Amino acid sequence: MTEGLNHIKKELEILRNSILEHDYAYYVLADPTIPDAEYDRLLQKLKKLEGENPQLVTEDSPTQRVGISPVEEFAEINHLVPMLSLDNAFHEQDLINFDTRITERLQKLGKVKENIEYVAEPKLDGAAVSLRYIDGSLALAATRGNGNSGEDITHNVRTIASVPLRLRGENPPKLLEVRGEVFMPKDGFIRYNKLALLNGEKPFMNPRNAAAGSLRQLDPSVTANRPLEIFFYGMGQFDGFERPDTHSGVLELLYSFGLKICPDWQIVVSVSDCLKYYNFMEKKRESLPYEIDGIVFKTNSILKQELMGSSSRAPRWAIAHKFPAQEELTIVESIDFQVGRTGALTPVARLKPVFVGGANVSNATLHNIDELVRKDVRIGDTVIIRRAGDVIPEVVKIVKQSSTKRGKKIDLPKRCPICKSEVVRIEGEAAARCVGGLICDAQRKESIYHFSSRNALDIEGLGIKLIQQLVDNKLVNNPADIYQLTVEQLSKLERMGKKSAENIVKNIEKSKATSFGRFLYALGIREVGEVTAQSIAAHYETLENLMGEEGKDLCEVPDIGPIVAKNIQDFFANPRNQKMVYKLLDAGIHWSKSRSIKPKRTELTGKTVVLTGSLSSMTRDEAKQNLHQMGAKVTNNVSKSSDLVIVGDNPGSKAEKAKNLGIKIISESAWLDLFNK
């Protein structure tokens, strides 16, 4: 590199660092250090120099926030550590019960003598994201998705001004997976909608939809024009630094990296302090510059978090205490029954439209026939409607008006409103069901939609409206028919061009490569959710074993009781279902046999194992798969319940914590010796 070019490179570095510091002061500290005109001058100078020397442009340059070409589709990204959901508390007693569970659990372990310390944080009403920084530079960003993987939205997240493209500090971490909530501030939401109306565009219904919709743009220049913000609230995987001992320490560490933290978090001790903070923030809610729908309480001690652990969907050491749902009055114009995927009939009140909970509501659930009878809702009644966040609006109760003559009572139909099959109620169940199965158009549509959903076969573009067209036009009768669709057939449908049809056929083909667990979940067997499907897949070597004699021992699978076992056996005993399953396999649906290999009995069978450091012989995913084959359970964090820690190069704090807890530590080579026995 010539001396002149070296000089330009140094000048560019000084300019970038200066602009990044001004960005930090403006967007994170809310304390601008220079006038806007001076900032614009620096940015223009940087753009000019980079334009003259394109070979010196870096990915973390402030000029590279926007400028990426539109993408054709959203790729899938696996989270290094799963993004779990949170359990909800709707009443004070729910929060008290949560604190009691933690206290009792920790007392049994001899780890608590006083009130538990919590971190209280406003629960933002936005879109959860995971960002990955490698050597201090932003490398990836993804949506929460199904918790294990999400959509790649790096190109859009880069456009958010408060997201640093490079972390602060002279020694940035090798790896930092950080979690945050993208939101649209209230004033930005109002400004954007006013501009949208002036331009003849459709405004957003609420700030949460605005944030989520803005992140799912194929063209980043569209996202760049949306007034988005972000607050960071936690970490996933990390490498190159010691994790703080407390969650409050994690928040302070993230802030030191230049990551924006919600300023309203607070440490609270005892349930009474939690409730004081909750009530204070509920009163303050309307004056906040951003929307919140509750408070998140997290056990502050990281060690206590690890001792409490997590379920398959949520940590046991945190809870979201939701604010009371918003309610409004409206009138019931009619009541009908919807038929779901499993044939369950749900009474639905059709309402005079009313704006509640940030959306226009014209339908509300009455849950089941028992609830309809208990609430005695009738056509013409004035009712209270409740809606909160993503929860389906519900009829809370009627407002009695003695002067008004009421309509007739609503009875459970004897025949399905869709296919006219018989409606039956099984003793002990709240739901009444249509017995029509897949001859019922409603069940057929919902079954196909479930099959193609993100956590099942994940066929992008095959939404409920398209499925309704496919069924109505007799192109698809069951999930197996999806794989016979052609571009020509799809192109003839309403609002379906050739390019869209080609993309859908491509996505259908792509979905053929799946996993045993996803396939089982996609079949839509009653009571078989994602976790149960994965347990079954791990227990049986092949689908043939599950459908054959070995399938009679389903109660041996963890978390499967006699009712779920019977549902599974009944499903596979049905000739129509058998035919559909074999048709799906004949269409080319397949999965790696190695994913469903039964664990062998080894020295690690039943042991809880943690991997730490860089492995030289294989990837981390391959190591986990091999440990599962050895019968081990693999977790991400070292705790008292851990049995073994396998250490690679540069292991970080996990090895030290294992040593302090007296947990056995072995090297990668020692583990390989065990594996190859």
Residue 190 covered by a domain? yes
Residue 539 covered by a domain? yes
pLDDT confidence of residue 639: 80
Q: Are residues 487 and 523 in the same domain?
A: no
Name the most confidently modeled range: 176-180, 207-211, 670-674: 176-180
Residue 389 pLDDT exceeds 60: no
Tell me which of 123, 322, 654, 657 is the catalytic residue.
123
Q: Are residues 520 and 657 in the same domain?
A: no
pLDDT category at 595 given cuts 50, 70, 90 is very low
CA–CA distance, 116 with 303 (Å, rounded to integer): 12
Residue 124 covered by a domain? yes
> Could you read off the pLDDT of 605-617 as tens digits, one per residue?
778 888 887 777 7
DSSP symbol at 422? B
Bridge-based pairing of strands 394-398 and 423-425 is: unpaired
Q: Are residues 170 and 185 in the same domain?
A: yes
CB neighbour burial string for 473-492, b if at least 16 within 10 angstroms, e if fewer: eebbebbbbbbebebebbee
Q: Are residues 476 and 533 in the same domain?
A: no
The domain that holds 626 is classified in CATH as 3.40.50.10190
> Could you read off the pLDDT of 407-433 as tens digits, one per residue?
899 999 999 999 999 999 877 777 899
Q: What is the mean pLDDT of the chain?
A: 87
> Which residues constitute the domain of residue 491?
437-511
> Could you read off the pLDDT of 476-509 as tens digits, one per residue?
999 999 999 999 999 999 888 899 999 999 999 9
pLDDT confidence of residue 59: 77
pLDDT confidence of residue 596: 44
Domain boundary among 64, 84, 114: 64
Written as one letter, the residue type at 410 is I
Q: Are residues 236 and 347 in the same domain?
A: no
CA–CA distance, 581 with 568 (Å, rounded to integer): 13
pLDDT confidence of residue 391: 66
The domain that holds 39 is classified in CATH as 1.10.287.610
Residue scoring higher pLDDT (420 or 672): 420
Q: Are residues 233 and 135 in the same domain?
A: yes
CA–CA distance, 329 with 352 (Å, rounded to integer): 10
pLDDT category at 274 given cuts 50, 70, 90 is very high
> Could you read off the pLDDT of 35-60 as tens digits, one per residue?
767 777 788 888 888 888 888 888 77
Q: Are residues 130 and 273 in the same domain?
A: yes
Q: Are residues 35 and 132 in the same domain?
A: no
Q: Are residues 581 and 613 in the same domain?
A: no
Residue 353 covered by a domain? yes
Q: Are residues 158 and 244 in the same domain?
A: yes
Is the Cα dihedral 409, 413, 418, 420 positive or negative?
A: negative
Residue 31 covered by a domain? yes
User: How many folded domains does the chain comprise?
Assistant: 6
Helix (H) or strand (E) holding 513: strand 513-514
Q: Give bridge partners of residue 349 from the DSSP assignment.
A: 335, 364
Q: Are residues 51 and 113 in the same domain?
A: no
The domain that holds 496 is classified in CATH as 1.10.150.20
Domain boundary among 280, 299, 322: 322
Residue 72 covered by a domain? no
CA–CA distance, 182 with 186 (Å, rounded to integer): 13
CA–CA distance, 243 with 263 (Å, rounded to integer): 21
pLDDT confidence of residue 203: 85
Q: Are residues 227 and 283 in the same domain?
A: yes
Residue 613 covered by a domain? yes
pLDDT confidence of residue 28: 65
Residue 127 covered by a domain? yes
Domain boundary among 292, 322, 352: 322
Nearest to 612 by CA among 620, 621, 604: 620
CA–CA distance, 674 with 47 (Å, rounded to integer): 57
Whether 123 is catalytic is yes
Minimum mean pLDDT among 102-116, 369-383, 574-588, 618-632: which range? Answer: 618-632
